[in-house]
A = this chain, B = another copy of it.
Amino acid sequence: MSLDNATRDKLKTVSTATIATALFKRGFRNQMIQGAGPLRPGKPTMVGEAFTLRYMPAREDRNPVSVFLNRAHPQRKAIEECPPGAVFVVDSRKDPRAASAGSILVTRLQARGVAGIVTDGGFRDAAEIAALDMPSFHVRPSAPTNLTVHEAIDINVPIGCGDAPVFPGDVIVGDDDGCIVIPAHLAKEIADEAVEMTAFEDFVTEKVKEGWSILGLYPATEEKTKVEFAAWRKAKNR
């Protein structure tokens, strides 16, 4: 399991921006799920291992509404199988013309203890989903049933989402800037580094508000910055 509790807790305290820089330092440039934002900004940071659903284009004869009479339909099965604590990630091929899911399914995910949901398409009943405690991310609201353009075809396989590669078990972090994908084997070290970086960024923000120039401060190319940061950490116990 890639995501121990300590790592999860650390990731909840850092931003996707900071994680993006930590990944960039290791050569990762495409881990951001492009174009998907929060249905309601300001929720706690979403953290969880990816559990994926892959949609393909819908063919009319295979996708009448009666397909959902089948309990083994991949969309409904995925909703019931996504582990508590995981993030449900949907590959909608960046097509928001029909819904990736609606409020009933997303409410069920929340009831099951899922950490959050992200699609590179759109959700229907977007206002209801936004009102849930569970964080959710999409491109834009979209009322038509998924059957209009999507057929759920695969559960928990590697997918693309918003041009980012997502493997089952990768760690997804989501905040008001959107969602980022941390390769599973790097979750712990990225979390550790991001916590360190966040301490420094918080210090820098404080100093900038006090009127310091960013030159010499960010990055800390002046000795004075290093000294003050050390003192700040001690004082703040970080």
Interface positions, chain A 91-118, Cβ under 8 Å from B, are: 93, 95, 97, 99, 102-105, 107-108, 111
Q: Which residues of B contact A65 (CB under 8 A)?
A: 21, 24-25
Which of B71, B79, B124 sits near A20, CB closer than 8 Å? B124
A32 contacts the other chain (CB 8 A): yes
CA distance A89 to B97 in the complex (A): 20
Q: Which residues of B contact A62 (CB under 8 A)?
A: 165
Q: Which residues of B contact A177 (CB under 8 A)?
A: 124-127, 141-143
A145 contacts the other chain (CB 8 A): yes
Count of chain copies:
6
Interface positions, chain A 168-218, Cβ under 8 Å from B, are: 175-178, 180, 183, 201, 204-205, 208-209, 211, 213-216, 218
Please determine whether A183 and B59 come into contact, CB atoms closer than 8 angstroms: yes
Chain A: interface residue count, which band? 35 or more
A232 contacts the other chain (CB 8 A): no
Q: Which residues of B contact A178 (CB under 8 A)?
A: 141-143
A34 contacts the other chain (CB 8 A): yes
CA distance A56 to B201 in the complex (A): 26
User: How far does the Cβ of A189 sit from chain B's closest Cβ, in whole Å?
Assistant: 13
Q: Which residues of B contact A135 (CB under 8 A)?
A: none
User: What are the 8 tightest A-B residue pairs by CB atom distance, in nearest-first order?
Assistant: A17-B124, A143-B177, A16-B143, A127-B176, A57-B165, A141-B177, A17-B143, A20-B144
Other than the given A32-B144, A57-B160, A62-B165, 12 more pairs (CB < 8 A) read A17-B125, A17-B143, A20-B144, A21-B65, A28-B61, A30-B57, A76-B215, A103-B205, A125-B177, A141-B178, A142-B177, A143-B178
| 19 A-B contact pairs sorted by A residue (CB < 8 Å) | A17-B125, A17-B144, A20-B145, A21-B145, A26-B61, A28-B59, A29-B29, A30-B57, A42-B127, A56-B159, A68-B218, A79-B214, A93-B160, A104-B204, A107-B209, A111-B211, A141-B178, A153-B157, A153-B158
